[in-house]
Amino acid sequence: MDTELREKILVVEDEASLRELLQYNLEKEGYRVTLATDGEDGLLHVEENKPDLIVLDWMLPQVSGIEVCRRLRRSNETKLIPILMLTAKGEEADMVRGLSIGADDYMTKPFSVVELVARVKALLRRSNPARSEESLTYRDLTMDLRTYRVSRAGSEVHVGPTEFKLLRYFMENPGRVFTREQLLDAVWGSDIYVEPRTVDVHIRRLRVALNPTGGEDCRDYIRTVRSAGYALDDSAE
Ligand code: CA
């Protein structure tokens, strides 16, 4: 792809090893990556390079990640740039605040790089649908967004329209736990009243569709999170 067309990602992270890991994996996906080691440096990079997305660490020297986020959201020039925040374990409660000041998504360290790349793609797709991809993949699952075909390990899987929308939402946000209400809003829309139980019905159908034989060699990718909701996650039991 033409270098100029490739999307620019700014990584603001003070841990050198993590910076390198992110740079390596994002470049492998074809993104142009710039690096900043602290918040102030990060803000300068944003001004100079106008990135398409920012991976922003929460705890940073000089200016903290949250302050960087707040400043970016205040300016018309930068307020729409998607921000994926990184946080250490134990800072999760603070993340609620992080999201409320404008981060688009967050991940807790240590995280899976595969999942981070998937989240980055999802955020970029949301911010610029014209650039959107034509298919989604998760492990051995593939979803073709033009033909509406879903396949697992190469065999076609038949899903209804609602299950397709559910699966698409999960595949755009792998590993993330959604409540029934969030799934209702995302799939059915917030102006329609649907019983939360309806979600369970479609989740069940989706599970059966993805694993028709119920075989043990075939993992259940939909994880039920007790009293919380559901996630697409291959650690499902
Ligand atoms: Ca840090």
The per-residue pLDDT for 134 is 78
Distance 153 CA to ligand 1 centre (A): 38
CATH classification number, 3-130, choose in 3.40.50.2300, 3.90.230.10, 1.10.10.60, 2.60.120.380? 3.40.50.2300
Q: Confirm if 211 and 159 have CB atoms less than 8 A apart.
A: no
CATH classification number, 135-232, choose in 1.20.1260.10, 1.20.120.330, 1.10.10.10, 3.30.830.10? 1.10.10.10
Distance 64 CA to ligand 1 centre (A): 9
Distance 201 CA to ligand 1 centre (A): 42
CA distances from 186 to 30, 45, 153, 167, 190 (A): 29, 34, 27, 11, 8
The per-residue pLDDT for 30 is 87
Distance 160 CA to ligand 1 centre (A): 44
Question: Which amino acid is residue 210, in one-letter code?
Answer: L
Global pTM?
A: 0.56
Distance 210 CA to ligand 1 centre (A): 39
Distance 86 CA to ligand 1 centre (A): 8
CA distances from 19 to 16, 73, 147, 156 (A): 5, 23, 38, 39
Residues of the chain with pLDDT under 50: 1-2, 237
The per-residue pLDDT for 2 is 47
The per-residue pLDDT for 1 is 45
Q: Confirm if 134 and 144 have CB atoms less than 8 A apart.
A: yes
**DSSP string across 76-142:** TTTTTS-EEEEEETT-HHHHHHHHHTT-SEEEEES--HHHHHHHHHHHHHHH-GGG--SEEEETTEE
Distance 115 CA to ligand 1 centre (A): 19
Numbered ranges of CATH 3.40.50.2300 in the chain: 3-130
Q: List the 135-138 sheet strands across, edge first.
A: 135-138, 141-144, 149-152, 155-157
Distance 89 CA to ligand 1 centre (A): 12
Distance 103 CA to ligand 1 centre (A): 16
